[in-house]
């Protein structure tokens, strides 16, 4: 937990002193998405295989996301939001930062064994959902190409396909060396991209969005994942992933296609700060289940 706070905090301080800028976070994000994360996805798929548990973690992630969208829609209609803000609330309430925040938190509390399930939840749950349901809500269309050629998803596919083959030791040494850089780079990029200036815009809607994403969604996950035959570790990691604040990728898509991007970035930024308090609380609850 402390290493997460320190890495994000140091990156933010460096940015404030002009050593880095927010633009530098894009380079680090590309490093993660195109180099380190695909290798972690490959390693996870190769070691786990496509088992029933992998399928059920993926299914559970979709169940939580769809349920969160439905709850956000009902609450949005209840408080009489216009169409743009209703769609915005549905997106920020449903799609969590299950990679850039989810991986470090999962590794911190559940180690490398737990991280494997976080990768499945993110790659086959969150990413596929935001690339399909997310695009339908944000843009009104589906970007199939972005799903099929997303590097971490390709890493999963090749991991499953090559599972029956024995790979040389130097391949795994390179993969392990690359994967070791993932979490520090992810956290540093988050620190560079964080902006306090988004916090005070649309406070009421922000409170509703964070309430759904960081408290209602994990409550739904506690109930929904109980319906699935999962190991205790897979169950705990899945609930933890569901408690992550708003996905940065979803925020960028909302900015690009004209939804309420102030709500999106405020949910992602303030949610990240709140997660330093809410995630330990959820871990305590999860361990008591």
Question: Over the stretch 134-179, which tens digit does the pLDDT of each residue have?
Answer: 878 887 666 677 667 778 778 888 988 898 888 899 999 999 999 8
For the beta carbon of residue 285, count every other beta carbon within 10 angstroms: 16
Q: In this structure, is residue 43 part of a structural domain?
A: yes
User: pLDDT tens digits for 1-29?
Assistant: 677 778 888 988 999 898 988 888 878 87
Q: In this structure, is residue 11 part of a structural domain?
A: no
**What pLDDT is recorded for position 29?**
77
CATH label of the domain that carries residue 146: 1.20.1530
Q: In this structure, is residue 23 part of a structural domain?
A: no
Share of the chain above pLDDT 70, in %: 93
Answer whether 241's CB lies under 8 Å from 118's CB: yes
User: Distance (Å, rounded) from C-alpha 27 to C-alpha 33?
Assistant: 10
Number of domains in the chain: 1
Q: What is the average pLDDT value for the chain, to the nearest integer?
A: 86
Q: In this structure, is residue 284 part of a structural domain?
A: yes
For residue 200, pLDDT over 60 is answered with: no
Range of the domain at 274: 1-6+31-183+196-288
**What pLDDT is recorded for position 193?**
74
Q: In this structure, is residue 113 part of a structural domain?
A: yes
Q: In this structure, is residue 248 part of a structural domain?
A: yes
Left if phi > 0, otherwise alpha if psi is -120 to 50, otherwise beta: which for 181?
A: alpha
**What pLDDT is recorded for position 148?**
76
Answer whether 70's CB lies under 8 Å from 186's CB: no
Q: In this structure, is residue 93 part of a structural domain?
A: yes
Alpha helices in 79-101 (DSSP H): 83-94
Q: In this structure, is residue 191 part of a structural domain?
A: no
For residue 90, pLDDT over 70 is answered with: yes
CA–CA distances in Å: residue 146 to residues 114, 122, 130, 194: 27, 15, 11, 26
User: Distance (Å, rounded) from C-alpha 69 to C-alpha 227?
Assistant: 20
């Amino acid at each position: 937990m402390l290493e997460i706070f320190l890495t994000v905090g140091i990156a933010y301080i460096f940015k404030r002193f002009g050593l880095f800028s927010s633009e530098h976070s894009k380079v680090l994000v590309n490093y993660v998405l195109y180099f380190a994360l695909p290798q972690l996805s490959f390693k996870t798929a190769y070691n786990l295989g496509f088992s029933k548990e992998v399928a059920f973690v993926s299914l559970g992630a979709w169940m939580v996301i769809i349920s969160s969208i439905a709850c956000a829609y009902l609450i949005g209609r209840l408080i009489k939001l216009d169409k743009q803000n209703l769609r915005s609330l549905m997106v920020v309430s449903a799609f969590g930062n299950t990679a850039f925040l989810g991986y470090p938190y999962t590794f911190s509390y559940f180690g490398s064994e737990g991280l494997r399930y976080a990768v499945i939840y993110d790659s086959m749950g969150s990413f596929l959902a935001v690339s399909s349901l997310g695009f339908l809500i944000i843009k009104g269309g589906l970007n199939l190409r972005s799903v099929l050629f997303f590097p971490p998803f390709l890493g999963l596919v090749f991991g499953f396909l090559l599972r029956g083959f024995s790979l040389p030791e130097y391949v795994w040494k390179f993969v392990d060396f690359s994967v070791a850089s993932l979490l520090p780079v992810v956290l540093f990029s988050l620190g560079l991209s964080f902006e306090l200036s988004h916090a005070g815009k649309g406070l009421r809607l922000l409170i509703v969005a964070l309430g759904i994403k960081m408290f209602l969604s994990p409550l739904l996950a506690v109930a929904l994942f109980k319906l699935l035959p999962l190991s205790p570790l897979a169950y705990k990691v899945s609930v933890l992933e569901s408690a992550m604040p708003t996905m940065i990728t979803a925020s960028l898509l909302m900015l690009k296609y004209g939804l309420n991007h102030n709500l999106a970035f405020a949910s992602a930024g303030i949610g990240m700060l709140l997660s330093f308090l809410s995630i330990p609380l959820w871990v305590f609850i999860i361990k008591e289940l």
